[in-house]
Amino acid sequence: MSERKVAVVKLSGSLVSPPSPLYLRRLRDSVERARSSGWRLGIVVGGGATARSYITALRELGVPESILDEVGIESAVLNAMAVASALYPYSPIEIPRNVREALTVFEEGLIPVLGGLQPGHSTNAVAAVLAETIGADLLLNLLNGVAGVYAGGAPGEPGARLLRAATYDELENIVRDKRSLAGTYELFDSVAVSVVRRSHIKVRFVDGRDPEVIQRILLNQEDLGTLVG
């Protein structure tokens, strides 16, 4: 699929939090196999349920949305640190706080694992920017129990149908009407679409409950989920 063999893997936070030892071990094994086959990776992890529970409670106290975003960022950083620990010693435990630091880690031959960076940004936008920075032409987006991008409704809604492929414009239309309250970023967002579009980065959305999907796509080139771009 890609000659340069550089990819970014985005993990839904809910895949690793609450954590299962089995999941983390299989994630480590799948990443390790991709690495041994010559793939160079960056990883971004979402905030998951921890983020959402804090944000919901604090919003009731009238805390500003940007500060709720900061709590979401810190949740994602915690999840990222857990994933980096599972990859020990191939990833620094000190989670990069901007893409310049992530690039330095990548250039040293390690796998940067990131959480969130700044309010207003989802972790999907982080993943898109990281892909640009390290020269990845694939962003592999691991969802939790959703098989890919659905049109005609959210997954599970009547009329919703799984897309096998989509253009950047189609993806943008699907994500456009989502609200942007902290903790409610979904699927992808418009900043992320702009970034992958401007740099011609392909995005593949798959169900990530089995992390072996990473090697199935990177090594075996299986055509799973939805390919955008």
Q: Which residues bind ligand ATP (CB under 6 A)?
A: 12-14, 46-48, 51, 123-124, 143-144, 146, 149-150, 154-155, 174, 185-187
Distance CA 134, CA 179 (A): 30
Instruction: Specify the residue, 100 or 161, whose C-beta has the smaller distance to its own copies.
Output: 100
Q: How many residues bind its own copies (CB under 8 A)?
A: 71
CA distances from 19 to 12, 116, 165, 203 (A): 12, 19, 31, 26
Q: DSSP letter at 137?
A: S
63 binds its own copies (CB under 8 A): yes
Q: How far apart are the C-alpha atoms of 31 and 214, rounded to whole Å?
A: 7
Side-chain half-sphere CA neighbours of 218 within 13 A: 29
Neighbours of 169 (CB within 10 A): 11
**Least Cβ distance, residue 160 to its own copies (angstroms):** 24
Q: 18 preceded by cis ω (within 30°)?
A: yes
Among 33, 40, 70, 151, binds its own copies (CB under 8 A): 70
Q: Which does 138 bind (CB under 5 to 8 A by kind): ligand ATP, its own copies, none?
A: none
Q: Which does 170 bind (CB under 5 to 8 A by kind): ligand ATP, its own copies, none?
A: none
Judged by CB under 8 A, does residue 12 bind its own copies? no
Name the residue nearer to ligand ATP (CB basis): 33 or 183: 183
